[in-house]
């Protein structure tokens, strides 16, 4: 099936609503020394952050934790003086039961809690603490008592700290005031996206691709398939997407993993190659030239020069190893010589788009008015041979070349539209088959309902018939009983008559004559 993504009918922009940065330092400034440190909190942190000592009761509760686990994280053993005050609190939060940790946080002063939140927020973005944080994450992963029920009932600060350690995102300590505790618990358990602006239920749309099925917290709506990170980027070539499953990937990640590479063209001639993005999730190849073309056509009018330079850099990376002439010449003039770029891109987007595919290729990316003019020139060039002979040879060759380029471009558009039509036809066929299947299911269910109705009606009728039969049987028994009594009475009367006859010598009396 042809790659038709990003050809007008499909959206190609990375989800702009899910755009809180995870590890993109370019779009989010983190400075370890940028937050004010108050002397009182500093002094409290150097001595002890929380006020009050845990009772003996707290020591006796909770699961038994080996002592070596408390002093050994990620294969490195630390002494009691090897941890800072914040790290000591983190060790307790990670190792101790939630009940003890929540009591400890409740006993801390407001200033100590604020200092703890700031310190942890700065620690998770400090590259020097990566090994220590990984050890904490491994320990949290092995805990079986952190369920959705226990997390939703624990102290809010403890829950935010646990989610921050699990995701290594300081936003849960700084910007998660409006996030419900239930959502935080689901984020901790990888049931919802860790992007605060997204928070989609995972897997998105119940996707069963190779990545979403792992249920490791990946969100196909806003995360990269390779690194599982998200950022603020949108309307850019720094993200590439799949035509079929609509999953996205950083361009740099795709290039590093060789997911963007040359592949057999599905729309061009036989044995032609083109640059394609091979989806990590479903393996479908999506052609890159049409994607880049659509991005520049749609978004370049709003770009400044510095943004355009970055986008051209991504274009150069994407097509650096391209084997087809269309991709290898893509943007070579501007990329090799940035001085050719206009000072204000919004005023001259057409020049950049035309030059992006090389001046020798002709104006492939034009607005609607330019395309109309090209079509008119192509139509006017179809003249009788007498008119052609009167034109200069240079004009004839130029018009022939332009016409050929225009025809090639139309052929590409036709092939893309045909591929798109095949895709939609396949989807329509699938929908038709699904509708027919639903009709069959409905018909079967209707037949079952009618059969059940007939059986139930028959059962009710049988009950009524049985009741009538019983009534008639009772009436018959009553009649039989009356008949038996009549026969008994008749036999008795006949016996009495015989007795009377025998007493009178065989002559009937007056009474007997009457009888």
Q: Give the tens place of pLDDT for each residue, 395-431.
A: 555 567 677 777 878 888 888 888 889 989 999 999 9
pLDDT class for 63, splitting at 50, 70, 90? Answer: very low
DSSP, collapsed to helix, strand or coil, labels residue 416 as helix
Residue, of 363 and 242, whose pLDDT is higher = 242
pLDDT at 78 over 60: no
pLDDT class for 508, splitting at 50, 70, 90? Answer: low
How much is the pLDDT for 79?
40
Q: Give the tens place of pLDDT for each residue, 353-363.
A: 555 544 434 44
Q: Give the tens place of pLDDT for each residue, 96-150.
A: 888 898 989 888 888 888 888 888 888 888 888 888 888 888 888 888 888 888 8
How much is the pLDDT for 35?
33
Average pLDDT over residues 277-296: 88
pLDDT class for 476, splitting at 50, 70, 90? Answer: very high
Q: Give the tens place of pLDDT for each residue, 154-164.
A: 888 888 889 88
pLDDT class for 507, splitting at 50, 70, 90? Answer: low
Q: Give the tens place of pLDDT for each residue, 336-356.
A: 555 555 554 444 444 555 555
Q: What is the pTM of this model?
A: 0.53
DSSP, collapsed to helix, strand or coil, labels residue 369 as helix
Alpha carbon distances (Å) from 359 to 296, 310, 331, 364: 16, 21, 9, 10
Residue, of 231 and 26, whose pLDDT is higher = 231
- Determine contact, residues 267/2, Cβ cutoff 8 Å: yes
pLDDT class for 9, splitting at 50, 70, 90? Answer: very low
Pairing state between β 72-73 and 76-77: antiparallel
Indicate the average pLDDT of the chain: 73
285 secondary structure, DSSP code: E
Residue with tokens 């060039």: 381
How much is the pLDDT for 429?
92
- The tokens of 310 are what? 């970055």
């Amino acid at each position: 099936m042809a790659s038709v993504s990003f050809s007008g009918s499909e959206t190609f922009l990375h989800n702009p609503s899910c755009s809180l940065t995870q590890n993109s330092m370019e779009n989010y400034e983190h400075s370890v020394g940028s937050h004010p440190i108050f002397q009182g909190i500093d002094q409290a942190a150097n001595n002890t952050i929380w006020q009050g000592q845990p009772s003996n009761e707290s020591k006796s509760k909770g699961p038994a934790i080996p002592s070596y686990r408390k002093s050994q994280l990620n294969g490195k053993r630390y002494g009691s003086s090897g941890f800072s005050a914040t790290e000591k609190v983190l060790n307790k939060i990670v190792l101790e039961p939630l009940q003890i940790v929540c009591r400890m946080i409740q006993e801390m002063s407001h200033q100590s809690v604020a200092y703890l939140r700031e310190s942890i927020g700065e620690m998770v973005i400090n590259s020097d603490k990566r090994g220590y944080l990984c050890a904490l994450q491994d320990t949290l992963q092995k805990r079986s008592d952190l369920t959705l029920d226990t997390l939703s009932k624990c102290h809010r600060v403890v829950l935010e700290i646990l989610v921050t350690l699990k995701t290594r995102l300081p936003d849960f300590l700084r910007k998660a005031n409006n996030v419900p505790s239930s959502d935080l618990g689901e984020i901790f358990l990888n049931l919802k996206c860790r992007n605060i602006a997204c928070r989609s239920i995972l897997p998105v749309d119940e996707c069963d691709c190779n990545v979403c099925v792992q249920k490791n917290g990946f969100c196909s709506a806003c995360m990269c398939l390779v690194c599982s990170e998200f950022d603020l980027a949108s309307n850019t070539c720094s993200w590439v997407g799949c035509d079929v499953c609509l999953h996205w990937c950083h361009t740099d990640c795709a290039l590093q993993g060789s997911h963007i590479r040359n592949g057999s063209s599905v729309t061009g001639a036989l044995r032609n190659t083109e640059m394609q993005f091979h989806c990590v999730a479903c393996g479908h190849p999506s052609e890159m030239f049409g994607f880049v073309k659509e991005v520049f056509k749609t978004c370049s009018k709003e770009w400044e020069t510095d943004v355009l330079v970055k986008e051209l850099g991504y274009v150069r990376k994407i097509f650096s190893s391209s084997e087809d002439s269309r991709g290898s010449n893509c943007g070579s003039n501007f990329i090799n010589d940035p001085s050719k770029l206009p000072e204000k891109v919004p005023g001259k987007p057409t020049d950049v788009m035309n030059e992006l595919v090389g001046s020798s290729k002709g104006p492939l990316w034009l607005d609607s008015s330019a395309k109309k003019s090209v079509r008119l020139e192509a139509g006017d060039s179809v003249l009788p041979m007498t008119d052609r002979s009167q034109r200069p040879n240079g004009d004839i060759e130029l018009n022939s070349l332009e016409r050929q380029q225009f025809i090639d471009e139309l052929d590409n558009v036709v092939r893309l539209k045909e591929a798109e039509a095949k895709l939609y036809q396949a989807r329509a066929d699938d929908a038709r088959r699904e509708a027919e299947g639903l009709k069959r299911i409905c018909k079967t269910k209707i037949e079952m309902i009618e059969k059940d109705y007939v059986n139930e009606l028959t059962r009710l009728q049988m009950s009524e018939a049985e009741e009538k039969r019983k009534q008639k049987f009772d009436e018959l028994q009553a009649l039989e009983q009356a008949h038996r009594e009549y026969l008994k009475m008749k036999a008795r009367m006949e016996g009495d008559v015989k007795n009377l006859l025998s007493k009178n010598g065989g002559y009937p009396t007056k009474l007997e004559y009457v009888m």
